[in-house]
Structure formats: structure tokens, C-alpha cells
Chains A and B, each alone.
Chain A
């Protein structure tokens, strides 16, 4: 489904996008963002949990955000360690005690920012533009397996880009999974072929 060349190319695109994302995030959040090397793989729904590297499997919150454009569509999912929460709120500029509603807002804002920064970089290199839907909370304070066990999954395999985020001087660990649907793979490969020359 995905040749070595395609995989390398996509990994390189993600790498470049993350460099830019890190720079944008540093300016916005006034903090240094440490990004792991992105992993690109074709996975089945049951393998997704295994792709998650940065957060542990207990007490996780997850937020999803759909994107579509240039024939390519998918959903990104950001997973936060619950232990990161206080620092995450601080990072997002919430100084006061965080209420349950504010907690949701912090998760959603952080997702929008972290996901947007990366996907924008990817889209730019492929010369397309994504539109984004509003982020939606998948679940809070759950075990990872429980959070990911969706009964509504209607795909067998998907292209997954996984990136781990850590933020310097903050105890924030999160994992970003960009899941690109089987249906858009054809368009994506065309774009990659063009880039590969």
C-alpha cells in the first residue's frame, strides 16, 4: 500500500512540518516544544494503541479534530496524560483554578493549536489547504484502550502519522496521531509521487 519511498517522503514532510510547528508554538506559547521523530505506518484500528508512545496507558484524555482538503481527509487525535493537566492549563494561559468547563476548553484549544501547527505545515508542502472542523472531546480520564475502543470504526487500515510532544520546563506529555483514511490514500500518493519527481 505504501512503498518505502512514499513512507520516507511522508516522514520527511512531517519532519519539516514539525520544525515549523515547533517554531510557531514557541512563539505562541513562549515555551520550547520538543517533538519526537514522526512515525509513519499503515495500521489497523486495533494497532493504534500500540502506536502511542509518549503517553502511558492509564488516565488519558483525548480530543479529535477532522480535516479535509485536496482530496485528502482524516482525523487527528491528540492524547494527553492526565498528569499533564495542571501544566497544560498554565501553558495555555489559565492561571486560576480550572473548572470542568475550562478543562474542556484547555484540551480543545491545545489540540487546535498543536494539530493546526503540524497539519498546516504538511498541507503547505503538498500545496493543498485543509479545512478543519471544531475539535471534539473523545473522552476524559480514561484508560487508553477504553478511549480508543470505538465501536463506530468503519475502516480496516489507515495511514497513521504519530508524533510525541513534550514541552520544556512543563510537565506536559502528549501524543498526536494523524489518521488518514484509506479513501484519500490515492490522492496522497499522487501528491507524494509529484514531490518525489
Chain B
């Protein structure tokens, strides 16, 4: 066998390298300093449905207007100056090139999620004269992550809320109360607490059945939701007991809100199947006060005011009265 001439060996090496570059399952794009394309491998050709000759020699920004030019230039600039790779992941930008999903059966995304790496390429004189952009298809990973995040969000929602009413459950609400209590203890701002329950709820259950009782509980929650502001924190405290924490709210305003809820409920019977159920609620309101010993103490006072409303014949609101502070002398 005769030995291959050197040039033949070189050509062979070159052919292998080009074969690999063409067929590797990542996108390879070579760009010169004017952002003109010099390499556009099969991955890029296939996914963009453009032939190499349509792309090579043309400016990337003319070909792909979806690329944010200002951002891209800044990214590339850092590669030239630092002679260091730069990255972008799907979490920052879902894609660099918009490639539509090509798999009709297993493709779950609308487009290909991409991670990209920008690497500096040295010319023959040793200076960096072009960059190579490597495009990775990370659709599968991105979709899995996005789905996982959605599931986590749902789980968090389920663990924090009450299934029947969608209001916060007792544990979550109490945690928030504790935080607010600590804040108030430090800053002494206005903050109020409303506690209320449905009058003679047992009778609702006895007369109309438990599903009807559930409907009453649900409707009450709806009325709360429509009555409070975004910053107010409402929770289902027990069976037919509700609590609303009102940050930045003086007691007078809390009383006004409590009365509004009471009147709305009294005026709007709950409907379950063909039954119309009239019902009322009794409420207690307690302001935050520096003399409070604990969040539980605060709840107790609201509960005492609620008890007064019950004593007074129900369908009423009462404010917890703190004992008059002794006037300091001197």
C-alpha cells in the first residue's frame, strides 16, 4: 500500500471534521465581526428550513428578525473583549432562533426551547475574529421543569387553602397573623381583626341538609372575597367561623367593613337546589393594641366581641373595648 500524500491526509481530516460539524445534533453558527454567517450546519438548516447558501454571507439580523439585536450585540461584545464564552439559557430567553415544534406526536411545546453558548474563535493571527454560537435543543428539559413548577404551584395552593371555600386554611392564616402581629408589635401601625360566624348554623344543616350547609359556607366566603381589599387576609377559621385580618386599617374602618359584610349576608339568601336559605352572621372586631400578649390573645378579644354580638341577639357587630389607659401624671 502506498502512503497517502500529506495533502490527501489533510483533506481526509478536514472531511471528517466537516462531516461531524454538519451532522452533530446541535446547531452551529459561525459569525464574523459584522454578524455575517459563515457556517450554518445541518441542524440549523433543517430546523430553520433554509439552505446554507441562503444564509451564508448574510447578516444574522436581516435573516432572523426575532433576535433582539441590541441584546445579542452586547452578548457578543463580551466574548470579543474577554475572549471568554457567554451563555444564555431557556430560563432567561426561551429561544434564540424561533424553531417551531416539529414532532406532531410527542412534541409538547409550541417551539424549541434552546440554551446557547457563544464561544470565541481565533483567526490565524491569534486574534479573536469570529464567534461560534452553539444551539442546544432543551425542549424536553424545559417542558418538564415548567410542568413541575406548575404542579408545585398547585400543591402549594392546595396546602394553603381550604378546599370548600378557597379561603386560606386556619394554619396558613394563623402564620400570616403571627407575622403581622410581630410587625405591629414593632411599628404600632393600625391593624384590625374581624372574626365572625354563621348564626344557628346547626339549624341550617338540620333543616336543609349538609350539602345546603356547605353551600351557605361557600356563599359566605364569596361575599367576603367580594368585600375585602387585596391587602386583607381572609381565612376559614373553623366549621362556620371566618377571620379577616386587615393591615393598615383603624378599628372604625374595620367596623364599617364588618357591617357591610353583615348586611350583605342578611340581604342575600343562599340558594341550594330549590331551597332559599335566609341566614345571618354575628361579628366581632378587635384592633391591634400594644397591650396584647400574643396573636392568640388578639383572636380571643375578637372572639369576645363576637360573643357580645351573639348575646345581643345575633346579626350584629361589636368592637372589643380595651380598658381605658390610666393617664400618666407629670
* Chain A residues in the interface with B (C-beta under 8 A): 24, 27-28, 92-93, 101, 104-105, 108-109, 112-113, 116-117, 120, 131-132, 134-137
Contacts and interface: CB of A to CB of B under 8 A. Distances in A.
Contacts of B82: 24, 28, 113, 116-117, 120
Q: Is the interface of B mostly helix, strand, loop or mixed?
A: mixed
B84 A108 contact: no
Q: What 4 A-B pairs have minimum CB-CB distances, sorted nearest first?
A: A116-B84, A134-B87, A105-B92, A28-B81
A112 B86 contact: yes
Interface string B52-88: 0000000000000000000000110110011111111
A134 B85 CA distance: 9
Contacts of B92: 101, 104-105, 108
A39 B74 CA distance: 32
B78 A109 contact: yes
Nearest to B94: A101
Contact of A109 (B75, B81, B91, B117): B75
Decide if the interface of chain A is mainly helix, strand, loop or mixed: helix
A101 B93 CA distance: 8
Nearest to B85: A132
A108 B74 contact: no
Contacts of A109: 75, 78, 86
7 contacts: A28-B81, A112-B78, A113-B82, A116-B85, A131-B85, A132-B84, A132-B87
B113 to A, nearest CB: 13
Contacts of A105: 88, 92-93
A105 to B, nearest CB: 4
B93 A134 contact: no
B89 A134 contact: yes
Given A28-B77, A28-B78, A104-B92, A134 B115 contact: yes
A170 to B, nearest CB: 17
Nearest to A27: B81
Contacts of B85: 112, 116, 131-132
A31 to B, nearest CB: 13
A109 B91 CA distance: 13
Contacts of B115: 134
Contacts of A92: 74
